[in-house]
Amino acid sequence: MRSLADQGRFIELAVRLAADLAALEAGHPYRAGLAEAGDAAPLLEELGACYWRLARFPEADTTLRRARKLREARGDGEPSLAPVLERQAALAHYLGDPQAEPLFHRAIAAHEAAHGADNLEVAVARRNFGAYLRDEGSEVAARAELEHAVDRLEQLAGTWHGGYAAALKALATLDFFSGESGAAVAKAEAALKVCLRA
């Protein structure tokens, strides 16, 4: 659980970002060039992430959709869309939106276009997709994604990385749901060791 201090910082950040966005959209002279350059997209992405952390999910969804539409209208390629697509996919997953799966596929493809298939960003996106598949009850597909993510994260970032621990935890949860409690405990303990080292 986030501390009250963290919540306060996210609230302050959201207020500042919303004010910056309002100034940008109002065409204030000192920001007019930024508005023409389409620089609202990064502000919208960051504001959407703040809203997510503050559990203001409808606002997060609306804000992230606006960021994606701005980038798409500007003709930005998939690489610059990858972070907003991944945030939208995670939010859709959390909200039970049926658009989650296509958004995860698109986010993974965007990360692959930006970084190549064997990259940390791709591995993290596949871990998130695996967790989504697990929650949707697609055990075989979830296991394939999560095992791949664990392997790639270990190879690319090492066993000290938080993403590796998160992938182990997601796989441990799948093992538990599948009745493999021994494997679940072993993976959960390994994930905890990573977290304690951080």
Q: What would the pLDDT profile of 124-182 be if each residue is shown by its tens digit?
A: 999 999 999 999 999 999 999 999 999 999 999 988 888 999 999 999 999 999 999 99
Q: Which residue has the higher pLDDT, 20 or 168?
A: 168
| Amino acid type, 11 | I
Q: Is 121 helix (H, G, I), strand (E, B) or coil?
A: helix
Place of tokens 């000290």: 160
Task: Find tokens 């606002």 and name the residue.
Answer: 59
Q: Identify the DSSP state of 158.
A: -
Give me the phi and psi of 18, to 5 degrees please.
-65, -40
Which pTM value belongs to this model?
0.81
> What are the Cα distances from residue 83, in Å, to 50, 125, 148, 159?
14, 10, 21, 24
Q: For residue 71, which amino acid is it?
A: R
Q: Is 4 exposed, middle or buried (0-12, 13-18, 19+ CB in 10 A)?
A: exposed
Tokens 């270990």 found at: 154
Q: Which of 143, 168, 173 has the alpha carbon at shortest distance from 157?
A: 168
Produce one character per residue of 86-114: b if its CB has 16 or more CB atoms within 10 Å, e if not.
Answer: bbbbbbbbbeeeeebbebbebbbbbbbeb
Q: Which residue has the higher pLDDT, 124 or 39?
A: 124
What pLDDT is stored for residue 11 in this prediction? 82
Contact present, 165 and 189 (Cβ < 8 Å) = no
Residue labelled with tokens 């075989």: 140
Quick check: helix, strand or coil at residue 105? helix
> CA-to-CA distance for 54 and 74, rounded, in angstroms?
29
Tell me what percent of the residues of the chain surpass a pLDDT of 90: 51
Determine the Cα–Cα distance for residues 123 and 149; give it in Å rounded to an integer: 5
